[in-house]
Amino acid sequence: MMIAPEGSGQSAAPLPEQVGAYRVDSLIGEGAAAIVYRAHPTAAAAGDTPQTVALKVLKPEAMTQPQVLACFQFEARVLSRLDHRGILRVYDAGVDDDRMYTAMELLDGVSLDNVLIANKRLTPAQSVDIARQVADALDYLHRSGYVHRDVKPANLMLTPQGRVALFDFGTVVRIQDGAPYEAGLYGTPAFLAPEQTVAGGKVDGRADLYALG
């Protein structure tokens, strides 16, 4: 199981018993700002929450950083409004005992970058299918008024059933007003569109299409 593009399955932090309305089962991975757990909802959780979720919890040190908080909250708000099979779904978000969390869809799959590392290359048919699914998800995202800004293999999940899902919306912005927090260079250098590297550059959906290739 993998839902995070970074981190490992080990953490120095003790496993919490419960966060919000979710009982923590095990650790999935850890990044610079957050830890992701496999969890299941209690009776207090939203009615449409599945039996198992990926619970992303901000680390205590991240809770003291305004930009990280703004990014985390904005990502949760955006994803809660979106409904597309090509985009990782968010079911719930909140704060419990000074811990900010997001309950997300838990996918059984592997990131595209790990597939490329293992197999080196894709067949033409695989490449076309992945590109088609990602383009469809991006079209929906852009028509909804948002741009991802960090489309890359590490942020694409492939399931055994052939589904491709875009995740890690930490850099998402509204197309109409640029960003939910201070401007800066966001994204991964190898996949940045030229306008993303220029101070004051206007970024829209074309930046995501550039990254898709």
Q: Distance (Å, rounded) from C-alpha 100 to C-alpha 58?
A: 6
Phi first, then psi: give them for residue 166, nearest 5 degrees.
Answer: -85, 135
Query: Which residues are tagged catalytic?
Result: 150
Cβ neighbors of 117 (< 8 A, separation 6 or more) are none
Q: Distance (Å, rounded) from C-alpha 40 to C-alpha 107?
A: 14
Cβ neighbors of 42 (< 8 A, separation 6 or more) are 18, 21, 22, 23
The answer to whether 39 and 91 are in contact (CB under 8 A) is no
Q: Distance (Å, rounded) from C-alpha 176 to C-alpha 211?
A: 20
* DSSP-H helix ranges across the chain: 66-81, 112-119, 124-143, 205-212
